[in-house]
């Protein structure tokens, strides 16, 4: 399986751009601040003198893409496309794992749950300025979560927890996770049976 998909239109675009560059120039795909909420992906020219010993080379039709060893795991399942829209054409780069490295299916439950929170749930909450952090998974199968940002003090926190976050996590981890609790509820030793 390809680590990064570059569509045919994007490959044609790169070949056209590279024609005007120094002989032997390819492209570099990278992530700045990988594994953080501030991760940003980019593509740049990569002249022969900029190829590093630890780079991974992905060969495409007419050029290669080089990726540094720190960015590589965060670019798994990335897609580069060259799309035409009303306002013109643009290069798009989607890297779903840039902010957090993809975890294996057999990774510990806490890592798999945290991955879903960081890559699926927090992007939804970010539109309201909120986020959640996974504190722990209890022995009896509850994800203990801490709400932050715009969620702090929000009257909808209980609804978001029960109808949104908990429902999504239990669907994905049904056999392993019974539910989710807010950290304050857990610290007081309350058990909510909904």
Instruction: Specify the higher pLDDT residue, 191 or 84.
Output: 84
Q: At 96, is the pLDDT very low, low, confident or very high (cuts 50, 70, 90)?
A: confident
Note whether 36 and 98 are within 8 A (CB).
Answer: no
The C-alpha atoms of residue 16 and residue 34 are separated, in whole angstroms, by 29
* Structure-model confidence comparison of residues 65 and 149, the more confident one: 65
The residue among 153, 192, 147, 186 whose CA lies nearest residue 165 is 147
Mean predicted lDDT score pLDDT of the chain: 83
Whether 49 has a pLDDT exceeding 90, the answer reads yes
Distance (Å, rounded) from C-alpha 137 to C-alpha 113? 9
* Range of weakest confidence among 44-53, 121-130, 139-148: 121-130
> According to the model, what pLDDT value does residue 135 have?
87
A 10 A CB-CB count for 34 gives: 23
The contacts of residue 125 (CB under 8 Å, 6+ apart) are: 131, 132, 149, 150, 151, 160
The pLDDT of 17-25, averaged and rounded, is 94
Q: What percent of the chain has pLDDT over 90?
A: 31
| pLDDT category of residue 145 using cuts at 50, 70 and 90 | confident
Average pLDDT rounded to a whole number, residues 90-95 = 88
pLDDT value of residue 2: 61
pLDDT at residue 191, as a whole number? 46
Q: Does the pLDDT of residue 59 top 60, yes or no? A: yes
pLDDT-wise least confident of 16-20, 53-57, 167-171, 180-184: 180-184
Residue 193 has what pLDDT? 40
What pLDDT sits at residue 188?
Answer: 47
For residue 156, name the pLDDT band (cuts at 50, 70, 90). Answer: low
């Amino acid at each position: 399986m390809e680590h990064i998909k570059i569509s045919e239109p994007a490959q044609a675009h790169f070949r056209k751009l590279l024609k005007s560059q120094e002989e032997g120039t390819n492209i570099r795909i990278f992530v700045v601040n990988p594994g953080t909420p501030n991760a940003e992906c980019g593509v740049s020219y990569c002249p022969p003198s900029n190829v590093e010993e630890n780079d991974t080379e992905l060969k495409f039709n007419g050029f290669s893409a080089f990726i540094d060893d720190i960015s590589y795991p965060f670019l798994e399942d990335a897609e580069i496309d060259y799309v035409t829209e009303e306002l013109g054409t643009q290069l798009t780069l989607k890297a779903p794992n840039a902010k957090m490295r993809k975890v294996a299916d057999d990774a510990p439950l806490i890592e798999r749950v945290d991955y879903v929170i960081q890559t699926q749930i927090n992007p939804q909450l970010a539109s309201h300025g909120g986020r959640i952090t996974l504190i722990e998974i209890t022995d009896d199968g509850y994800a203990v979560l801490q709400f932050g940002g715009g969620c702090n003090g929000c009257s909808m926190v209980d609804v978001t927890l029960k109808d949104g976050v908990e429902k999504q996590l239990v669907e994905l981890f049904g056999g392993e996770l019974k539910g989710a609790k807010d950290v304050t509820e857990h610290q007081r030793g309350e058990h909510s049976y909904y």
